[in-house]
Structure 1
Amino acid sequence: MEMRGLMGGLYKISEWIMRLSVTNLLWIICSIPYIFLLLPTLMAQTTDQFLSGIILSSIVAPFTLFPATSAMFAVARKWVMGEVDAPLLRTFFRNYKESYLQSMIGGILYVLLFAIMIVDFQVYVKELTTLKLVSYLFIALMVLLAVSLFNFFSMVVHYHMKTFQLLKNSVLLTIGRPIRSMSTAIMSGIVIYISVSSPKLMFLIPFFTGSIVAAIAFWNFYGIYTKLQMQAEKNAAAAAEAEAEEAAQRASEDAVGIEKLEADKESNVRK
């Protein structure tokens, strides 16, 4: 029996708190090796310690963080598509297993891209005087790369494609739909900023931040997917209609030709 009114609303809120927190905790648990290396890095006292920690955590990320993130996006996919009662544990671990290889390969490539951009940024900072302009440019590029990473995770759990097709399409989708990309970046940025803005809100990180960002990112991706699908259906319907009209025109022309031929035959017989 479905509860209504205030109690029904509170029950639904508690259900969503449970879904978000359980999914976020599963994501963190499956990313423990990466987190184990990242936390000391954030508290490093020297630049050398910080850089070595970043390098080690980046090496581990494709094998732990990226598959766990894909599994989290698979759960978010269920929510966005209306399957809010999908079993969390089964959905998470089934997709963790199924998407592990593609997530790992994609993770390696994305880590390399981020590393190249960071190294280039360091080089340009030392050589150029227009530091502020270069900083803004690199920040914008890294935000776009992060959004394309979110699109990659969304496509891994939504499509059956080869890994390099997923990587190519995630980049093209990010560039080709700038409004949706900006929406993903802004909303995800707000959630992350709130989570780290105050020590009192740090509890959001282990319980809600990741799963909320995944839901936002997949929601924007699914909006793009729905529009593309509708456009493809319209194009297919228009092509079928044009083909039907062409076939009808050919049939009409053939009928006119047959009538003319019969008329000529009848005229010849009379002669």
Structure 2
Amino acid sequence: MEMKGMMGGFYKISEWIMRLSVTNILWLICSIPFVFVLLPILFAETTDQVTSNLIIAAVIAPFTLFPATAALFGVARKWVMGEVDAPLLRTFFKNYKESYVQAMLGGILYAVLFAILIVDFRVYLVKLGSMGIVSYLFVALIVLVGVSLLNFFSMLVHYHMKTLQLLKNALLITIGRPLRSLSTVVMCGVVLFISFSSPKLMFLVPFFTMSLVGVIAFWNFYGIYTKLQMQAEKAAEAEAEEERKRLEEDAAIMLPNTEDGRTTIK
């Protein structure tokens, strides 16, 4: 029996808290090696310690963080598409298993790309003081690649494509739909800012942060997908209409020419 009124509202809120927190915890558990390497950066005392930990984290990420994130996006896909009662454990690990290889391969490329951009950013910011303004260009590129990574995960769990096609289309969608990309940056940025803005809010990180990012990112991607699908349907309808008119014009050439109703080509 479905509850209504205020109690029904509280029940639905508690359900979503459970869904988001369980999925986020599953993601965190599957990313444990990456998290263990990344955490010491918060307490690092020298730049060399930060750099060494980032290098190790970049090596580990494609094998742990990226498959776990793909699995999380698989669950977010179910929610955005209306399947809110999909079994969490089964959906998560099914997507983890099915998308592991592609997530790993894509993760290797993205890890290398992020490493190059971060190194260039540091070089222009610290080493080349007179060209420090150029470092902001690399910040923009890092954000752009970050959004394309979110689109990559969304496409990975929504389409059956080869890895290179996923990477190419993720970048094309990110660049070709700037408003959606900006929306993803702003909304995900707000979630991350709130999560890390205060020690009192850090509890959001293990329970809600990544789940919310996954839902927001896939929701924006699904908006792009729905619009592209509508455009494709309209184009198909227009093409069918043109074909119908062409057939009618061809049929108009055929005119009755005898009393028995036979026709001949004019």
Global fold match (TM > 0.5): yes
TM-score range, shorter chain: over 0.9
**How many Å separate the matches in 1 of 2:50 and 2:129?**
25
Q: Which runs of 5+ in 2 are unaligned?
A: 261-266
The root-mean-square deviation of aligned C-alpha atoms, in Å, is: 1.6
Q: Secondary structure at the match of 1:129?
A: helix
Q: Does 1:244 align with 2:252?
A: no
Q: Percent identical across equivalent pairs? A: 69
Deviation at 1:213, TM superposition (A): 0.4
CA deviation map 1:133-175 (0-9, x unaligned):
3232211111111000000000000000000000000000000
Given the alignment, which residue of 253, 256, 259 partners 2:257?
259
* Residue equivalent to 1:186: 186
Q: Does 1:234 align with 2:242?
A: no
Higher alpha-carbon deviation: 115-124 or 91-100? 115-124
Deviation at 1:32, TM superposition (A): 0.2
Q: Secondary structure at the match of 1:35?
A: helix
CA deviation map 1:104-159 (0-9, x unaligned):
0000000011111112223323235242x323221111111100000000000000
**Which runs of structure 2 are paired with 1:66-215 in the superposition (5 Å)?**
66-125=66-125, 126-127=127-128, 129-131=130-132, 133-215=133-215
CA deviation map 1:179-230 (0-9, x unaligned):
0000000000000000000110000000000000000000000000000000
CA deviation map 1:59-112 (0-9, x unaligned):
000000000000000000000000000000000000000000000000000001
**Matched pairs, number:** 260
Q: Which residue identity is paired with 1:243?
A: E
**How many Å separate the matches in 1 of 2:50 and 2:131?**
26
Q: Which runs of 5+ in 1 are unaligned?
A: 263-271
Moved over 4 A (4+): none
**How many Å separate the matches in 2 of 1:123 and 1:205?**
31
* Residue equivalent to 2:31: 31
Cα pair 2:21 2:208 within 8 Å, conserved: yes
* Residue equivalent to 2:10: 10
CA deviation map 1:237-262 (0-9, x unaligned):
10011001001101111x14x639x9
Cα pair 2:188 2:213 within 8 Å, conserved: yes
In the superposition, the TM-score normalised over structure 2's length comes to 0.95
Larger Rg: 1
